[in-house]
Amino acid sequence: MTSGAPNIPLLTPYKLGKFNLSHRVVLAPLTRQRSYNNVPQPHAILYYSQRTTKGVLLIAEATGVSDTAQGYVDTPGIWTKEQVQAWKPIVDAVHAKGGIFFCQIWHVGRVSNSGFQPNGQAPISCTDKGLTPQNQSNGIDAALYTPPRRLRTDEIPQIVSDFRLAARNAMEAGFDGVEIHGAHGYLLDQFMKDQVNDRTDEYGGSLENRCRFPLEVVKAVTDEIGAERVGIRLSPFAHHAECGDSNPKELGLYMVNSLNKHGILYCHMVEPRMKTPVESEQIECPDRQSLLPMRKAFNGSFIVAGGYDRKEGNNAVAENRADLVAYGRWFLSNPDLPRRFELDAPLNKYNRDTFYTADPVVGYTDYPFLDESSQVSNCEWCF
C-alpha cells in the first residue's frame, strides 16, 4: 500500500505484468478530436502529462491503424511516419513523470462515411448493412453515414496486418504497449456481434467464426510486440452503433477464454448500462456483477469501466471484481484524480460541450488542480 492511502483499495500498488503501478486508477481511452488532420499535436503533451503521476497507467485515445480506419474529425492515427514522430514527445512527457502509456489501436469500420475514406470510397465492415440516421454528440451526424462495403474474405488479412503494423509503430513511438479496441460498435465488435455480422463465410455465423477476425488481430499483434505488451477492450453487453449480440455473456466468456491462449497482459471490459449523455443528468445504474464470470475466467489482469465513482471503484477492487478501474470523464475533468480520491476531495464538473472540440486548451488542459494547500507530503506518487 502507498504510505499516504492505507485504507483506500483504489490507491494500493499493483503489478501489471512487468509494470509497477502505484495505484489502480487508470485513464480510460478518450476521443478528444484535437489531432488535426489525424496527426497528434503538441498540446497533447500537456494534456497527458497533466494526468501523469508516478506509476499511473494511461491509455491513449483511440488511434487509427490505417487511412480506412477513420470516422471522426481530427482523431489521431499511427500508420504514417509523421504520426509516429508526432507521438514521440507526448510519450516522452508521460515517461518523464513516471507514467506507463499504452496506445489504443482502432478501426471504426462502418461507423464512418465516404468523406473520411480514401478516394471517397465506402467504409468497410463485416456487412453491407448501414446505420440508422441519428445525431451524435461527438460531432458526426449518423445521417451522413455511408452504407459500408462488406470485406471480402481475402481482404481480411490486410486489415489484420494494419493492426500489426500499428502495434509496431506504437513501439517505435515509445509506447509501453497497445490496447486493441474491440468494443463500442467499431470494426472488431461488428464482426463479433450477431446483430451486425450477417456473413456466411468462415468469419460469420457461429460464435467461433464471428470471433475469428478479432482473435487473428490479437495473434498478429502479440506475435509482433509480445503478449506482455498487449491488452484489449471489449464491450459484449453494449449496443453502441446498433451493435448488439443475442447472448453477450456467452460472447464475453468465449473471448476471454480464447484470449487466455494468447497470454495477453490485460482485458479491459465495459459493463452494461454505461453512463451515457442524455438530456438531463439522469442515468441508469450499471450492473456491477455482470462481468464477474469473465473476471473469473480470464488469466491476466482485469480492468473494468462503466461510470465508476470513488466508492464503486474501491468496492470493485476490495471485492476482487477487478484489478484496475478505468475512469473517463472524471479523469478528463480532474487531472489530479488519484490525489482527489486519496483526499476524498470534491471533483471538478465536466463540460460535455467541450469534449469533442478543436480547441487546444478549453475543456482540454484548463481543468484546475487542487490548490497547493491540499497536497499530502507522504503521498509517494502524487508529484
Enumerate residues 6+ apart whose C-beta is below 8 A from 238.
183, 184, 185, 189, 244, 270, 272, 274
Contact 197, 286 (CB under 8 A): no
Question: How many Å apart are CA 98 and CA 101, to the nearest integer?
Answer: 10
Contact 125, 243 (CB under 8 A): no
Question: What is the pairing mode between strands 100-106 and 14-16?
Answer: unpaired
Three-class DSSP category at 233? strand
Strands (E) located in the chain: 14-16, 19-21, 25-27, 57-59, 63-64, 100-106, 124-125, 149-150, 177-182, 230-234, 266-270, 301-305, 324-327
Catalytic, out of 47, 48, 72, 186: 186
Three-class DSSP category at 312? helix
Contact 144, 135 (CB under 8 A): no
C-alpha cell at 308: 465508476
Judged by phi (left if over 0) then psi (alpha if -120 to 50, else beta), residue 273 lies in: left
Active site residue 36: no
Contact 93, 47 (CB under 8 A): no
Contact 161, 220 (CB under 8 A): yes
DSSP code at position 141: B
Contact 232, 183 (CB under 8 A): no
Question: How many Å apart are CA 28 and CA 65, to the nearest integer?
Answer: 19
DSSP code at position 220: H
Which residues does residue 304 pair with via DSSP β-bridges, in sequence order? 269, 325
Which CA distances in Å does 151 have to 120, 124, 157?
Answer: 16, 6, 10
List the catalytic residues.
186
